[in-house]
Amino acid sequence: MGEKLDFSLPEKKPRGSAAGVLMVLLLLVVAALTAVNLFVALSPGTVVSEPRVAGLSAEQVKALANKLAQRNLHVQAADAWRDYLAGAELTDAERARALFQIGMALEKAGRYGEAIDSYYRSELTAQDADLAAQIKTHVSDCFERLGNFAALRYERMDRTSLDGSEPAGGKVVAEIGPEKVTEAALDAAIERQIENQLAPMEAFMAPEQVNEQKKRLLERYRDVQARQEFLQTWLAQEILYRQALDEGLAQKPATKQMLEDVTRGVLSQQLMNEKLAARINLTETDVRTFYEANKGKYMDLTRAKIRHIRVSEEQQAVDLLKRIKDGDDFAELAGEFSLDEATKNEGGLIAADVVEGAYVAGVGDANEINAAVFTAEPPAVLDKPFQTDSGWEIIKVEQKHAARQKGFDEVREQVMQELLSRKRQEVQSDYLKEMMDKHGVIVHSSVFAPPQAGSEVPSS
């Protein structure tokens, strides 16, 4: 306990000690070796070792990327090209070509948004005339595959514009305070609405079919008035939404309950759509087999094309029929005497075909007149006038077509939709049963049964 602590500093060594001399010698050796290495590196003809990536040289990584692409491992090929970019010393032109290869790999892998990103990076890295034409085509293809048709339209406009000062879609169509709504934003809102409309059907349609439907619906908004009407509706909804937030409506219990109910409906439907899409995989063979098994449903029935003259009195009908038999023109008499305003100016011609055994459009009888029409050999005027609820009818059969089996190519889409609908019902029923069992659902059906005679009814 009585030992004293020593706080004195160590004695300083003389400068000329052996340790100091050794340190100086070591520093001189290191400097000399560094100078030699620098001289060798800069000497003409000296081979500089190639940068390496994860144990492979840059050229080996490039070869790996190409090999992966050849084996259709496109995501892995894109990753290898990224390694090549990270590890190799490249010129801007070489980097641009590597980025283009990444875009190609991602496009083939179906990752179209990422592919567009790489294509854009490629053309920003270096201007390459050969790549430019290819990038233009590939970016357009990717936007189309994504179903992003507004972006595709503006992409094409930008690339064909002589004045690139303002990007396509940049014009302001409306303002909400300091916020500006551009043409591109309007088109994006239109596309979102159409996608929401198509969402319930996407599980049962091929991507190409979905895109065709989307294109067809987008055509409605090529009209200026339709776009303006959509904009007005969208703006009204947007400002009402913002005002509702300002007034705290989202925090009210009734609103929260409603939002919860809507969320339940959307999530359950989305889950079912995803399960249906995963479990329904129709092939061309499936569709053709269904067609062959149900050919009778895909028939053109026996049809006829007719003219008629409608009058109010039987005697007038008899007189007109006699004039026709004597050679007067049926169409001219229809234009003069027929009471049917929809057909008299067309010489009494009914636009819709008459189908054997069915209601006669524009006339009304499904039995006697129909049978007479399909007994006659056209062109022929039926021998007598027929009484209907609308008056007395004089009928001329212009043409008749025999029943015909529709070919597979004619009805392929119809067949596919019917098969999809059947598969949907089967899969949906099976999946719901599976989920009912998983979550232990029990329905007490007896509660809903009507009370038996003589049984007591609980008092209220």
Q: Give residue limits of the domains in the chain.
A: 52-146, 284-296+407-438, 299-405
DSSP 311: E
pLDDT tens, position by position, 330-357: 999 999 999 999 899 999 999 888 888 7
pLDDT tens, position by position, 291-319: 999 998 999 888 999 999 999 999 999 99
Calpha distance 166→173 (Å, rounded): 15
Calpha distance 183→234 (Å, rounded): 13
pLDDT tens, position by position, 368-390: 888 899 889 999 999 999 998 88
- Smallest CA-to-CA distance from 100 within 70, 73, 71, 78 is with 78
- CA dihedral of 342, 346, 349, 353, whole degrees rounded to 10: -70
Calpha distance 66→77 (Å, rounded): 7
Average the pLDDT over 226-251 and give the result. 92
**Residue 121 exposed, middle or buried by CB count within 10 Å (0-12, 13-18, 19+):** middle
Helices 58-70 & 74-87 angle (0-180, nearest 10):
170
Q: Is the pLDDT of residue 422 over 60?
A: yes
The answer to whether 365 and 388 are in contact (CB under 8 A) is yes
Asked whether the whole model's pTM tops 0.85, one would answer no
Which of the four pLDDT bands, split at 50, 70 and 90, describes residue 328? Answer: very high
Q: Which long-range contacts (CB under 8 A, 24 or more apart) does 327-331 make?
A: 330/381, 330/396, 331/307
Helices 92-108 & 112-125 angle (0-180, nearest 10):
170
- Provide the strand spans (E) within 15-89: 52-53, 56-57
Exposure on the CB side of residue 10, measured as CA atoms within 13 A: 3
Average the pLDDT over 84-111 and give the result. 91
Position of tokens 């599976």? 434
In degrees, rounded to 5, the angle at the alpha carbon of residue 384 between the alpha carbons of residues 382 and 385 is: 100
DSSP 349: B
pLDDT of residue 38: 43
Give the distance, in angstroms, between the CA of residue 402 and the centroid of all CA atoms in the same chain. Answer: 40
- CA distance from start to end of the chain: 95
- Tokens read off for 192: 């979102």
Higher pLDDT, 232 or 169: 232
pLDDT of residue 312: 92
Percent residues over pLDDT 70 in the chain: 83
Amino acid at 428: Q
Give one DSSP letter per residue of 397-447, joined into a string.
EEEEE--EEPPHHHHHHHHHHHHHHHHHHHHHHHHHHHHHHHTT----GGG
Q: 52-146 architecture in CATH?
A: Alpha Horseshoe (1.25)
Residues 6+ apart with CB under 8 A from 325: 381
pLDDT of residue 147: 76
Higher pLDDT, 27 or 137: 137
Q: 299-405 architecture in CATH?
A: Roll (3.10)
- Provide the strand spans (E) within 301-390: 303-311, 354-355, 380-381, 386-388
Q: Is the pLDDT of residue 203 over 70?
A: no
Task: Kindly report the number of other CB atoms within 10 A of residue 20's CB atom.
Answer: 12
pLDDT of residue 453: 66
Give one DSSP letter per residue of 88-126, joined into a string.
S---HHHHHHHHHHHHHHHHHTT-HHHHHHHHHHHHHH-
- Tokens read off for 53: 């990536």
Helix, strand, or coil (residue 394): strand
Average the pLDDT over 11-18 and give the result. 46
In degrees, rounded to 5, the angle at the alpha carbon of residue 354 between the alpha carbons of residues 353 and 356 is: 135
